[in-house]
Amino acid sequence: MDYHVTTFLQYFKRYTRKFFSKEYQGWIKVFRFYGVISFLICSIIIGLAIYIQPFPPKTVSLAIGQEGSSYISISEKFHALFQDKGINLELIPTKGLGDGLRDLNDDASRVSASFFTAGAAAGKDYPNLVSLGSIQYAPIWIFYRGDTISTNDPFEYFSNKKIAIGPVNNVTNKLFKELYQLNEKSNPKTTGFFELPFKDAANQLLAGSLDAVFMVDNFQSETVQKLLAAKNIKIMNFPLADAYLKKLPYLQKLTIPKGSIDLENIFPSQDITILASTTNLLIEKGTHPAIQWAYLLAAKEIGSNADSFFAKPGYFPQNLDYKFALSPIAKRFYDKGVPSLFDYLPLWMASLLENIWAYILAFIALIYPAYKLITSIRMFPVEHLMNDMFINLRELDEETNTVNSKEGLEKILVTLDSYEAEIYSNWLYEKNSRFYFNLKNALAAVRRDAIARQKQF
């Protein structure tokens, strides 16, 4: 290594060691001077660090819905992206997204996030939950057997048929009943409604036990793909889709273009309009900011790379459902995008800085007065010592000139020795070091006068 570099490093080490040694000794003296107040300030700082929680939990849990749904594959993508960030995302299957919502709202459950279909519940009924936005479309399918059906109201048409409508309390079940009740002419014969899981319903439709299946799931779903591949199964068209959107604003209208599923066999044989909801990602309000950013960043990456039938890459995530309020972090994400901090810093650190950016700006605005205050607090003990010491030395100087005994002068010298020890033990090395030498010179002058007078006796 170059001689000059070595010399500089040695000098830097000596300077740093000396600087930190003096600072350490200085603050010990400050803490000793302020006593209980120092302890209270430290307690406040520790409490603030606990409140901010800079480090996210290592494991979080996500409810992912029933077997055979599209949520299984997308949740596995979330799991892999979380692992890349050093977080274990525990995937918890449920009988349906309704069960996931129930577990998420239960304080005793370990579930801290859940997929949920927009429109099946409202945030006012779940005040402790917030949304991170929509991560994909949730198409509403009615698969049926037989000849092509043309009707304005599919729900009225199937009111006297055997149709599976999803498990009890399931999101699909709730949406079916809400859509069904929009037409006041409908007189449901509920004996024909079968509350079955998607997989069982699809198998029974293929076997001929059911006339139709109503389900809410993504195009990539295993069960949806199985029904789309069946030659004798058709997709119900919704000619009044725009009217449904007026009644239920959380719904979307999607089109399956002619021949888009099977170009060789031209399936479907004509454009089909269907309704859709969206799949939202719900979390607890107290979810750590870094975990929220992890979900949003993962959703963005999945959305940009997804081979989606209905949405272009990069379309999701979106804020499409207003029944649940966005978390403050999600609102920043949709308003301003992903902060550049996440390109350079670890997730927890970038999240911490992003979460307290307002505090950082306020700190910068107040940094000079804060510095002055801290310096004042730090230097108060020595300034207090200096002022008191000069007053004491002035009194001793007067006493030196008036005392008329050798013993009295001896007491003055002993007092001067104690003052000198106090100066050494409590002085802080700072920009007013000249006062230190002024004080020592004053003390030495009083001592000289006392010794000189002592020799006169």
Tens digits of residue pLDDT in 88-133: 999 998 877 778 888 999 988 999 999 988 888 888 999 999 999 9
Q: Do 340 and 394 fall within a single domain? A: no
Domain that holds residue 233: 59-355
CATH number for the domain spanning 199: value is 3.40.190.290
Segment among 16-20, 156-160, 248-252 with least mean pLDDT: 16-20
Q: Examine the pLDDT at 429 and tell me if it is beyond 80.
A: no
Domain annotation covers residue 457:
yes
Which range has the top average pLDDT, 1-10, 85-94, 305-314, 399-408? 85-94
How many domains is the chain built from? Answer: 2
Give the helix/strand (H/E) hosting 61: strand 59-63
29-57: average pLDDT: 68
**Considering 311, 326, 355, which residue would you say is the last residue of a domain?**
355
Q: Do 324 and 436 fall within a single domain? A: no
Amino acid at 145: R
| Alpha helix segments (H runs only) across 192-288 | 198-207, 222-229, 241-247
Q: Do 261 and 178 fall within a single domain? A: yes
Confidence grade of residue 235 (pLDDT, cut at 50, 70, 90): very high
Q: Distances in Å between the alpha carbon of 39 and those of 36, 137, 224? A: 5, 55, 64
Q: Do 132 and 248 fall within a single domain? A: yes
Domain annotation covers residue 15:
no
Domain annotation covers residue 38:
no
Give the helix/strand (H/E) hosting 141: strand 129-145
Q: Do 68 and 217 fall within a single domain? A: yes
**Considering 326, 355, 384, which residue would you say is the last residue of a domain?**
355
Crossing angle of helices 357-402/406-426, nearest 10°? 170
Confidence grade of residue 47 (pLDDT, cut at 50, 70, 90): low
Q: Do 284 and 376 fall within a single domain? A: no
| Residues contacting residue 23 through CB under 8 Å, at least 6 positions apart | none
Q: Do 150 and 205 fall within a single domain? A: yes
Crossing angle of helices 347-355/357-402, nearest 10°? 80
Bridge-based pairing of strands 129-145 and 272-284 is antiparallel
Q: Show the tokens assigned to 243.
A: 């009217």
Give the helix/strand (H/E) hosting 163: strand 163-164
Q: Do 350 and 371 fall within a single domain? A: no
Q: What is the pLDDT of residues 146-203, one digit of tens each?
A: 899 999 989 888 888 999 999 887 888 889 988 888 875 555 556 679 999 999 999 9
Q: Do 269 and 196 fall within a single domain? A: yes
Q: Supply the pLDDT for residue 91.
A: 93
**Considering 318, 338, 355, which residue would you say is the last residue of a domain?**
355
Q: Do 336 and 379 fall within a single domain? A: no
Q: Do 154 and 210 fall within a single domain? A: yes
DSSP annotation of 329 reads: H
